[in-house]
Chain A
């Protein structure tokens, strides 16, 4: 058959309004976020173009039987600014693995295997209003981990309740820092959450993840155009005997002003009282939605790290654009 006639032949067999029937069971998604930042570390001020966890992913499902699905996701970070994460010597790492898994989901819950953010990290939900930017709580708080070689089970939602448990294969590493290599599922992360209407609360924690044991309590509440969030966290470093018992809290709020504008701010502080170490993060920002999936924004962040009488401070002012697809 001549290629030119092929579309006509297909049109003759299928109604023009039918689509996406067949073996393609995936969806491409992602976001591009770039900022123009002025970074001042107290001695120098530098202007930077930064890609903020821009990513592309594909996810999908296949129904194995009634209500039981095979699921997968493969997500990669892309470096929109220069194509380089700065994490490898040769600089050629245009794609960096993020969350990647395969698993099963159904009425009994979800099991996934691969590489993924821990339940403790994801339990923060949306309280970090400057995620992926300089004000991201990962710059101040422990527990923001993505781990390899993990198996995770998440219960179905039951009257708003849900729980997740992740086990991490140590594969011969000494994950609990007791001087002996571990060879089982030694790292654990969990989250227990309740979410209904405008209320979200979660209790989560890690054991022997990134050499840390930690516990965090998260709450988020939305009331009309106002959303507030809070987190309390306590953690212990198993690898460094001089760093113990870090405690801290985090508060955030955002308010939709109307006409596409949202103003937001957050503050967090964590303290190691034994070593007189203290870290603070403070951010203010204004978002303007150009469309449902597109926004421009401006923000200011101040991160302070105080240890033994010395203080390191970083100030960042940035403007940027984010587009989701």
Chain B
């Protein structure tokens, strides 16, 4: 008991500073007690929402209906490339509104290539077109990371569509 008291006093006396999460390899984080960091803060996996088709309320919070298959996530049919996205969104407002409603609360991972010589601007443009395509009602960006590719880099965004 004496050890416990001494240690507790030392711990609190050492200051109440804000701690940041240090993300390590998954296999290393799996051997830690920081479960929330391993599963949430340091996870790049897209979040799959609880499917509330049979139960739309969980602990008093409203769940979100999402389609279960990637090819059923609604996007305007005309949007086959990021280049076409902007024009299509303005041309087909009804379809875009449907997408916004369907994807509300859904988290996506997207990516665009860039090179060091060309800079990331083209990738940013492409990413923002895609985000607008998936979440025409708005979004919040959750994560950003870069992976080396054969001819440069891939800039990744993880974002969640605004809730209606």
B-contacting residues, A15-30, CB 8 Å = 15-27, 29-30
Q: Is the CB of B11 within 8 A of A65?
A: no
Complex CA distance for A305 and B111, rounded to whole angstroms: 56
User: A12–B80 Cα gap in the complex (Å)?
Assistant: 5
A61 contacts which of B40, B71, B73 (Cβ < 8 Å)? B40
Distance A60 CA – B26 CA, assembled complex (angstroms): 11
Asked whether, in the complex, the Cβ of A13 is within 8 Å of the Cβ of B33, the reply is no
Q: How long is the Cα–Cα vector from A122 to B62 in the complex, in angstroms?
A: 36
Q: A122-B31, A192-B7 are in contact. Are A21 and B25 (CB under 8 A)?
A: no
* Closest residue of A by beta carbon distance from B129: A15
The answer to whether B116 has its CB under 8 Å from any CB of chain A is no
Which one of A18, A159, A201, A325 contacts B130 once the chains associate, using CB atoms below 8 Å?
A18
- Are B33 and A164 within 8 A (Cβ)? yes
Please name the residue on chain B nearest to A112 by beta carbon: B35
Report B134-153 CB contacts with A as 1/0, cut-off 8 Å: 10000000000000000000
Q: Given A13-B75, A23-B48, A201-B11, decide whether A160 and B16 contact each other with a Cβ distance below 8 A.
A: yes
**Whole-angstrom distance between the alpha carbons of A75 and B29 in the complex?**
13
Give Cα A105 to B46, complex, Å.
16
Q: Is A288 an interface residue (CB 8 A)?
A: no
A30 to B27, CA, bound (A): 5
Q: Is A324 an interface residue (CB 8 A)?
A: yes
- CB within 8 Å for A17 and B39 given contacts A65-B59, A65-B63, A160-B18: no
Docked pose: A50 CA to B69 CA in angstroms = 43
> Min CB distance, A304 to chain B, in Å?
27
- The residue in chain A whose Cβ has the minimal distance to the Cβ of B17 is A196
Main secondary structure of the interface of A (DSSP, over half): strand
Q: Does A244 lie at the interface of the complex (its beta carbon under 8 Å from any beta carbon of B)?
A: no
Asked whether A59 lies within 8 Å of B30 as measured between CB atoms, the reply is yes
B39–A71 contact, CB under 8 A? yes
CB distance from A57 to the nearest CB of B (A): 6
Q: How far is the CA of A162 from the CA of B34 in the complex (A)?
A: 9
Most buried by A among B25, B30, B79, B111: B30
**Residues of A at under 8 Å CB distance from B?**
10-27, 29-31, 55, 57, 59-66, 68-71, 73, 75, 99, 103, 105-106, 109-110, 112, 117, 119, 122-123, 125, 154, 156-157, 159-162, 164, 191-197, 199, 201, 203, 215, 217, 293, 324-325
Provide a sorted-by-A list of 14 A–B residue pairs whose CB atoms are within 8 angstroms.
A17-B111, A20-B45, A21-B46, A23-B48, A25-B46, A29-B26, A69-B40, A106-B36, A112-B35, A156-B36, A159-B17, A161-B12, A191-B33, A201-B11
Seen from chain B, the residues whose Cβ lies within 8 Å of a Cβ on chain A are 3-4, 7-8, 10-12, 14-19, 21, 25-28, 30-40, 43, 45-50, 58-59, 61-63, 68-71, 73, 75, 77, 79-82, 85, 106, 108-112, 126, 130, 133-134
